[in-house]
């Protein structure tokens, strides 16, 4: 999940270090996920028009950075960017809960994107506890 970009850039830096140290042979593909309401990175990556809302009302309330100052660095760090809707987030949250994984809605964006993208050998970063959502 991407908002201001610190997690994304940290993951990229970590994998870059592993690659440069010879622990891995190739850089994994990094896929960013944003919501239909807050998608400055995906809009720039996909070259589509994006006008941030005056007030963010998405269920993914941790993903609120409509004008991240690290945007240019984030663009260089990703291979793909997927946008998910609140409806997809809620469905993904329920699916994860049925598997015994309780995350916050902002983390469920990752599983919602995975369901759309279905990449082999994926690692999903589920960053926040769902205790605050119930």
DSSP sequence for the chain: --SSSHHHHHHHHHHHHHHHTTSSSSPPP-EEEEESSS-HHHHHHHT------SS---S-TT---SS-TTHHHHHHH-SEEEEE-HHHHHHHHHHHHHTT--B-HHHHHHHHHHHHH--TT------SBGGGG-
- Predicted local confidence at residue 132, as pLDDT: 79
For the structural domain made of 6-133, what CATH number should be given? Answer: 3.40.50.1100
* Predicted TM-score of the model (pTM): 0.93
* Domain locations in the chain as residue ranges: 6-133
pLDDT above 90 covers a percentage of the chain that reads 90
In this predicted model, what pLDDT tens digit does every residue of 83-92 receive, in sequence order? 999 999 999 9
In this predicted model, what pLDDT tens digit does every residue of 45-103 receive, in sequence order? 999 999 999 999 999 999 999 999 999 999 999 999 999 999 999 999 999 999 999 99
- Predicted local confidence at residue 7, as pLDDT: 96
């Amino acid at each position: 999940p991407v908002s201001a970009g610190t997690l994304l850039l940290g993951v990229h830096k970590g994998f870059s270090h592993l690659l440069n140290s010879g622990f891995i042979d190739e850089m994994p593909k990094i896929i960013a996920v944003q919501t239909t309401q807050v998608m400055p990175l995906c809009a720039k990556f996909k070259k589509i028009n994006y006008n941030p809302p005056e007030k963010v009302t998405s269920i993914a309330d941790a993903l609120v950075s409509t004008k991240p100052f690290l945007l240019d660095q984030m663009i260089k760090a990703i291979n793909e960017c997927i946008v998910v809707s609140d409806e997809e987030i809620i469905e993904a949250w329920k699916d994860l809960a049925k598997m015994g994984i309780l995350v916050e809605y902002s983390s469920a964006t990752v599983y919602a994107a995975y369901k759309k993208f279905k990449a082999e050998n994926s690692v999903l970063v589920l960053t926040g506890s769902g205790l605050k959502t119930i």
